[in-house]
Amino acid sequence: MNGEVAQICNIALASRSALKTKNKISYIPSKYENKIEFLFTENYKAENVNEWYDYCIEKGLEDIKLLMPISVKDPNLLGFANTSQASLVCFFKNSLITYFTPNWQYKNNAWNIIYTEYKWENPPKEKPKFSDNTEDFKNILSRIASFADKIDFHNFANIFIEAFNILNGKSIENIKNNFFEQYFFELPEINKRLFYASNISDVFGGMGSWNDCPPFSASERGLENEYKNLSSELLTQIRLALLYSVNEW
């Protein structure tokens, strides 16, 4: 999972946890974050996640959701910053709904991230709801693992099989991910499995990723369309799994 998606998932999980427990937010910045700021529509700037959350509570925050598109036109762009198109959607009292979108800027060997708030004009009447996509996710993982073996990328096949096994009941008791483990105990079992399977199987990016050499190997075998179709479906199921696991608990 790339850092941009990982961070916004982490903020959403921290916010939802704080709302449920009515405690202060507990957000642990990653080592690649230099500065994170939030610009509100009221011309207020929060200097960190804690200030952002506190100000949202003052505004009457009642719920928060992670949203992102489930497909992208060009998966090759996923190795770059500002390509996830993910947002934090905030539901306030008095039917006010706003969303924050991030902008990542690299400086001095770390990242400065600015989230900007926008009012959601004419939102849907109901909050977004997401469904458990475990079976569809398992299906694409099985198919793309076989395809990866077919084009001699057994390392990727092993990754996809590992994600499949997690969804299929493999023990996750000893799985650790320092970025998210503070919320691990709070998530329902299926959310945990979908989240970690998404994290493992998100192999899209730049050099050394599923976007790098595998498409050339597939093209040499006349399997370019199969590669594209399987990759597109995998990304869709990864994002559906993230949307369910982060939002529905």
**CATH architecture of the domain with residue range 3-119:** Roll (3.10)
In this structure, is the dihedral angle defined by the CA atoms of residues 67, 243, 203 and 152, taken in order, positive or negative? negative
- What pLDDT, on a 0 to 100 scale, did the predictor assign at position 63? 97
- What pLDDT, on a 0 to 100 scale, did the predictor assign at position 179? 47
Q: Which residues contact residue 43 at a Cβ distance below 8 angstroms, ignoring those fewer than 6 apart? A: none
Write out pLDDT tens, residues 168-211.
Answer: 998 877 665 544 556 656 789 999 999 999 999 999 987 789 99
- The token duo for 223 is 């399997």
- Does residue 1 contact residue 202 with C-beta atoms inside 8 Å? yes
- What pLDDT, on a 0 to 100 scale, did the predictor assign at position 181? 56
- Distance from C-alpha of 144 to C-alpha of 112, rounded to nearest angstrom: 36
Helix, strand or coil for residue 91?
strand
Write out pLDDT tens, residues 128-165.
Answer: 999 999 999 999 999 999 999 999 999 999 999 999 99
- Does residue 164 contact residue 134 with C-beta atoms inside 8 Å? no
Phi, psi of 150, rounded to the nearest 5 degrees: -60, -35
- Distance from C-alpha of 199 to C-alpha of 241, rounded to nearest angstrom: 10
- Distance from C-alpha of 151 to C-alpha of 13, rounded to nearest angstrom: 37
Structural domain boundaries of the chain?
3-119, 134-247
- What pLDDT, on a 0 to 100 scale, did the predictor assign at position 175? 66
